[in-house]
Structure 1
Amino acid sequence: MSSYPVVRSLRLAPLAMAIILLGGCASAGGGARHPAQVDELYGQLDQASKGYETALQQSRAGDRQASQQTLARSLDSLKAAAARCGNTAGCDPQRFFSAFDHLLRLKDGDFDDTQDLAGDVDPSQAALAAGKAGPGSLPQAQRSVTLLHGQKLSQLIAMNGPVKAALEMWLTQWRPQLMDAWVNYQYLRYQMWPQYEKADLPEALLFGIMAKESGGKVHAVSRSGASGPLQFMYATGMRFGLGSDGGFDLRFDPAASARANAEYINEQLRIFNDNLELALGAYNGGEGRMRRSVGDNTATSFYDPRIYDQLSQETRDYVPAVLAAAWLFQHPDSYNLRFPRVDGAPGSVTLKRPASLTELTVCLGSAGGMSDGWFRTLRNLNPRLDPQVSQPTGSTLQLPKLLEKAYASRCVDGPWPILADDLHRAVVPVVLAPSAAPVAKEIRHYRVRHGDTLISIVRKLHCSSVQEVTDMNDLRHHRIGVGQTLKLPVCR
């Protein structure tokens, strides 16, 4: 994609005609003769294109259900023919891919003469993402998934080589992270999505960024110090209000980080004239570097060699990966992908007996069908709590609503809370290292002040890492408190 003009309203009829022409060209082949098998496959391409025209006529006649069924059959036929084409000598698969791309982008839109196509997301997936059921909730669910400042997200995603390669990675090597991100997001959605909705940004983009950044792990910290579900660096987080709240790093707060991320993305979209790829490149690689590379020509493509060749490999991979994850959020069924159904309705419990998050994880077990257990979800929903520290009776903890009854039946009385408490109190022997002449390391002490974070303190040293200070002080989750005295290495 070489530029990002404002996407104009798309009408079905012209694109349908273009698709039919694609099919006609494929079967005619400019007068060339093809083997019978190839002609048969090109004939299926023709039929799929004509099926789309039939879907249009059915919709205009008011029969939306028949229209949807016809379109679905056309897509299925096209996919089957494209698969056979790849193994048939003389057949050009690219002709099928072009038609398939057009059909997919228009899937599940409005088909009358007066309305724009409202969205291109699978209806069941849109309702599932919105946490709703029934046709009444679908139009808004589609808009929330697909629109960016009134523009269709699908029209801002170039289905080029890098994005296709990223789609393959998400469907293969990165698939576990994609599925974990989906589940984690469903439980965090009620906190994060409203921040994006207020900013007029698509939910699919939020999911794409989170899937690539952290996989939905609220307490994720990268080697460079980027932290939280959306991986803010310290300075950038401070610029968007993600400072310290009573010693808690707000980058780990799902709602606050989503709000800051939406503000950042909108800021960069204004700077780069709604060029989404450049805005994402700035988020990953730094806005200063991206502005210097782009200059005044914000209509340039992210993949222009003058831009692309100056970027780090991480940023080159990051942008198509985010867009591919967003695309899969919209079109899972079309890529043989099934996200699990998750009831993310929020709930809470008031503890009837002292318990830590780890103890609750043990006593809840696989309640609600969660085979991987609830530790990650409980941590994500209670980011300010140390999971190993027991919370007193009367404390209120956030958890999925579906666990409220499970807590009452499993974690208040009976054997499971007793077992959990016993395991939690277990003491692991400390094995001393063989006596060897230890290398003395000179240390100094630092008293934590208001506004300090572990990262800001380490930055003052210019020669130490967060992990080194964490290990020296036996810190949990990088937490420090005002007045606390820290041991720091002395640098020369």
Structure 2
Amino acid sequence: MPDSVSTTLRFGALALALALAGTATDAQAQSRRDREAAEGLTQRMLEAEGRYRQALVQLANDDPAGMDASNAALEDMEDVMLACEKQRACSVPQLLTTYKRLLKADADAQAGQGPDEAGIDGPDGGLPTADVPAAASASALLAEDERFKRMVQLNPAVQASIRRWLTDMRVALMTSHENYQYMQHLMSPAFKRSGLPEALLFGILAKESNGRVHARSRAGAAGPLQFMPATGRRFGLGPDGTGFDTRYDPRQAADAAAVYLNERFAQHGNEIEYWLAGYNGGEGRALRVYREAAGRSFWDPSVYNQFPAETKDYVPMVIAAAWLYLHPEEYGLTFPKIDTRPATFTLERPASIYELTICLGNGNTRDGYMRALRNLNPSYEADSLLPVGTTLAGTTRIASLYKRWCVRGERADLAAELVNSDPRAAIVRTGAIEVMSVGDAPAPAALPPAPAAPRPPQAAPAAARTHRVARGETLGSIAQRFGCDVPALAGANGLRAPAYTLRLGQTLKLEGCSG
């Protein structure tokens, strides 16, 4: 590897100096020549990044030529950054994303990680640098909607998908947009930092999960962006040691998706259809087809017919949802506007998300707040009784309604009663049937009582059942599992309302429980 200290210092010093430099320009003064010059600098930066990454592979293989190659690439990047600072229409922050990626690669190298461990490996274990296009960077290609329009074809397949979103799947589209609005502040920054269009994020979200963070497929994909377990692990997603799978976390899922799509850019250039084919059907297959295609587009029959039916459906559906996100007015589409200003609120009495959904009411929305609460608090089950002091993520509207309706009063009590009601309590034994006479007709003679059956011998009283409290369990979830009345269970174990605080490993007596 290059001298890791000097490399890091060069990266850090230059990035800091340029980040502090002013980059504001008069947009009206940006001539066509300025824009062409800026795009040329962007091209040079991307080419230098590709050479640097190739040099890392050489150095990892003890090839002495890697040292000179890496130094030359770094010097070229420094020249580009300095030229960008002086060039109108050139975005220094945009080019700094390259430095951030390479700082990460350099830090991984210092930690002793190889390319596979650093999470930047290609399908065959090598760095995805051979196919890095020289035309422009991902940021330059995808930063604006107009460029996104030029990157996709509004062909009959996409048009048919637009028709599906606007007819049979209109409710799913509207629901996806509403759910996304609540999570936008968590998910969109990752795509914006990477220069990826937010519309593409929405299209993937709509097709994969309709914006439900707890969605899970039969194949094992999970979360709002449906990462498979192995792919999730590659990008830092999975069980976090507390029993929560971070694939369900919208912020972390979006971060991983942005990195994943930038990898696809490095392999396929600005061919978004190939990106999506890799996302749905596996990047190995998409890369093989792309290389064999020798420049033919995804829609070429010889290419298109190599993908399974699911991928042929997936690609135009995502593009169609992204297109509608950008251009709803062209199709008479009005997405619901929701006040989604983020806020937190702290529980003043024990409650579950189910209970909060009831007491909050609709609050001028169509469907209420259960999905928003679940999406913004993915680590909590909807029926788990959360103790006093739990802080939940929501919106300013939700926090206001909580104070008004859920802390005390008839609606709060009613919500608690409904959530704690046990259907089994409706099954009650009745006494002997009373025979009534009708009019003057005499009542029929009562049947003689049946002889009493002999009583079986009395069994010894069973030992009281107990349960040991596991991580993440609450009194409410235990009561629901074993068919207990919460107040009775609390009383049998000396737990005081309203917190019902439990300790990990505590043994509870399951008195009066039917389950």
* TM-score relative to the length of structure 2: 0.55
In structure 2, the CA distance between the partners of 1:190 and 1:224, relative to structure 1 (3 Å rule), is: same
For 2:20, the equivalent position in structure 1 comes to none
Asked whether the 8 Å contact 1:145–1:203 carries over to 2, the reply is no
Quote the Cα distance in structure 2 between the aligned partners of 1:305 and 1:354. Answer: 59
TM-superposed CA distance for 1:269, in Å, is 1.2
TM-superposed CA distance for 1:425, in Å, is 1.0
Counterpart amino acid of 2:246?
Answer: L
Counterpart amino acid of 1:314?
Answer: E
For 1:424, the equivalent position in structure 2 comes to 419
In structure 2, the CA distance between the partners of 1:323 and 1:394, relative to structure 1 (3 Å rule), is: same
In structure 2, the CA distance between the partners of 1:290 and 1:307, relative to structure 1 (3 Å rule), is: same
For 1:165, the equivalent position in structure 2 comes to 160
TM-superposed CA distance for 1:322, in Å, is 0.5
Counterpart amino acid of 1:290?
Answer: A
Quote the Cα distance in structure 2 between the aligned partners of 1:430 and 1:252. Answer: 35
For 2:396, the equivalent position in structure 1 comes to 401
In structure 2, the CA distance between the partners of 1:145 and 1:393, relative to structure 1 (3 Å rule), is: farther
The answer to whether the aligner puts 1:344 opposite 2:340 as a matched pair is yes
1:175 to 170, 173, 177: 170
1:292 to 288, 292, 297: 288
For 2:116, the equivalent position in structure 1 comes to none
In structure 2, the CA distance between the partners of 1:115 and 1:244, relative to structure 1 (3 Å rule), is: closer
Asked whether the 8 Å contact 2:186–2:251 carries over to 1, the reply is yes
Asked whether the 8 Å contact 2:223–2:253 carries over to 1, the reply is yes
Asked whether the 8 Å contact 1:147–1:202 carries over to 2, the reply is no
TM-superposed CA distance for 1:198, in Å, is 1.1
TM-superposed CA distance for 1:145, in Å, is 12
Quote the Cα distance in structure 1 between the aligned partners of 2:207 and 2:299. Answer: 20
**Runs of 4+ deviating beyond 3 Å:** 144-147
Asked whether the 8 Å contact 2:139–2:195 carries over to 1, the reply is no
1:322 to 308, 311, 318: 318
TM-superposed CA distance for 1:344, in Å, is 1.5
Quote the Cα distance in structure 2 between the aligned partners of 1:186 and 1:156. Answer: 25
Asked whether the 8 Å contact 1:146–1:330 carries over to 2, the reply is no
In structure 2, the CA distance between the partners of 1:425 and 1:298, relative to structure 1 (3 Å rule), is: farther
2:345 partner SS: strand
For 1:250, the equivalent position in structure 2 comes to 246
Asked whether the 8 Å contact 1:212–1:321 carries over to 2, the reply is yes
For 2:235, the equivalent position in structure 1 comes to 240
Q: Deviations over 1:233-287 (max 9, x none)?
A: 1111111110211221110000000000111111011111221110111000111
Asked whether the 8 Å contact 2:141–2:270 carries over to 1, the reply is no
Structure with bigger RCO (C-alpha 8 Å, 6+ apart): 1
Q: Deviations over 1:126-160 (max 9, x none)?
A: xxxxxxxxxxxxxxxxxx99961567101112010
Counterpart amino acid of 1:253?
Answer: D
User: Which sections of structure 1, spanning at least 5 residues, go unmatched?
Assistant: 1-59, 61-113, 117-143, 432-481, 484-492
Quote the Cα distance in structure 2 between the aligned partners of 1:224 and 1:430. Answer: 38
Asked whether the 8 Å contact 2:151–2:270 carries over to 1, the reply is no
Asked whether the 8 Å contact 1:148–1:202 carries over to 2, the reply is yes
TM-superposed CA distance for 1:299, in Å, is 2.8
1:357 to 345, 353, 360: 353
Q: Deviations over 1:372-399 (max 9, x none)?
A: 1211111000000011011111110111
CA RMSD of aligned residues (A): 2.9
Quote the Cα distance in structure 1 between the aligned partners of 2:294 and 2:161. Answer: 24
* Pairing of 1:84-163 with structure 2 (within 5 A): 148=142, 152-163=147-158
Q: Deviations over 1:101-145 (max 9, x none)?
A: xxxxxxxxxxxxx999xxxxxxxxxxxxxxxxxxxxxxxxxxx99
Asked whether the 8 Å contact 1:145–1:202 carries over to 2, the reply is no
Quote the Cα distance in structure 1 between the aligned partners of 2:236 and 2:396. Answer: 30
User: Which sections of structure 2, spanning at least 5 residues, go unmatched?
Assistant: 1-27, 29-87, 91-137, 427-503, 506-515
Quote the Cα distance in structure 2 between the aligned partners of 1:319 and 1:217. Answer: 20
TM-superposed CA distance for 1:427, in Å, is 1.3
Q: Deviations over 1:444-463 (max 9, x none)?
A: xxxxxxxxxxxxxxxxxxxx
Asked whether the 8 Å contact 1:216–1:229 carries over to 2, the reply is yes
For 2:439, the equivalent position in structure 1 comes to none
Quote the Cα distance in structure 2 between the aligned partners of 1:145 and 1:263. Answer: 13
For 2:191, the equivalent position in structure 1 comes to 196
Counterpart amino acid of 2:230?
Answer: A
Asked whether the 8 Å contact 1:227–1:251 carries over to 2, the reply is yes
The answer to whether the aligner puts 1:274 opposite 2:270 as a matched pair is yes
The count of corresponding residues between Structure 1 and Structure 2 is 297
Task: Calculate percent identity across the aligned residue pairs.
Answer: 46
Quote the Cα distance in structure 1 between the aligned partners of 2:398 and 2:272. Answer: 39
Asked whether the 8 Å contact 2:359–2:411 carries over to 1, the reply is yes
TM-superposed CA distance for 1:216, in Å, is 0.2
TM-superposed CA distance for 1:428, in Å, is 2.7
Quote the Cα distance in structure 1 between the aligned partners of 2:180 and 2:192. Answer: 15
1:310 to 302, 306, 317: 306
* TM-score relative to the length of structure 1: 0.57
Asked whether the 8 Å contact 1:366–1:374 carries over to 2, the reply is yes
Asked whether the 8 Å contact 1:146–1:153 carries over to 2, the reply is no
2:343 partner SS: strand
Q: For structure 1, which segment, 376-385 or 272-281, has the greater mean C-alpha deviation from structure 2 after superposition?
A: 272-281
Counterpart amino acid of 1:328?
Answer: L
1:248 partner SS: coil
Quote the Cα distance in structure 2 between the aligned partners of 1:207 and 1:386. Answer: 25
Quote the Cα distance in structure 2 between the aligned partners of 1:145 and 1:164. Answer: 27
Asked whether the 8 Å contact 1:273–1:299 carries over to 2, the reply is no
